[in-house]
Structure 1
Amino acid sequence: MFILSYVQISWTDAKPKLEKDPQGRAANPYLDQSDLEKLFREHTKLLHDRCANEYKALLAEVITTDAATKEYEDGKTVFTSWSTARHLLKDDTRYNKMPRKDREPLWRRHVEDLQRRRKSTVDQDMEKHGDGKTASLVDSRKHLSGYKRSHDRR
């Protein structure tokens, strides 16, 4: 867990800790300070990207169009309510590794992508089957259109 804590730390804050590190990670005589800082930034970016990819995989597993059909309190769904989605995600380590400030925006983007893909699929199906809208296509759109920018704020 030592390394994961560096995902959210600046070089200025990390440098004194690294200088005391028994492995000597900030004391390489072949690198100048700017090279050390550059390597640190690259490393923390890789860690963040890995966390983001794992979190996105979690979203793909939990926040699905099928999950959006289940309504919770006050008619909220995992598409319309961050707090509802968070409740389903929070026990997974991939959720906890993701920096707090990035969790909701990535969830929002995931939901918007699912809605866009579903709408595109429904539109293509409507074109393929002519102008006659089937009840299933209309119903499938209803549960996806409930997402609003004015979703609950925790």
Structure 2
Amino acid sequence: MLRRKLLAGLGGAAISGVTASAVGRATGESQIGVSPVQSTVGNQRRCSAVDAYLRPHLASGRVTLLTGKTVVRILVENKRAVGVELVTPEDMLAEPKGDNMALTQRMRQTHNVCDEHGGVPTASLIENWIDEAERRTWFPFEATRRA
């Protein structure tokens, strides 16, 4: 029933002079037109996607809304999603921080080898890379530091 109403509405828009290129496009040179996206319906009324889809699921108790988290993996059992594996922003930043710290340490060792053997040009390149790696270490360190 809803699909018929939607198609009728789009057909009526085309008849009334809305160009075919405007139908179904929310971006572009002009946003004048109609789109199936504009027809979110809940309880037989036009409403936002939050009202039509999210709030009913939250009210059922089967869905929990989490903010400030990143989903790493969807947990599936018997072809059914049963949960998610989450990671905090601090944990996301800990890995690149550790990687860059280890890289800096290895580059310092390589720089020492270059100094011992008189490899000035190579040592100069490595100094730039060490500076870059230290900058990449600084941001995750500051972002995860407790005040």
Q: Which of the two has greater strand per residue?
A: 2
Q: Specify which structure has the bigger relative contact order, considering alpha-carbon pairs within 8 angstroms and separated by 6 or more residues.
A: 1
Q: Which of the two has greater helix per residue?
A: 1
With the length of structure 1 as denominator, give the TM-score of the two structures: 0.28
With the length of structure 2 as denominator, give the TM-score of the two structures: 0.29
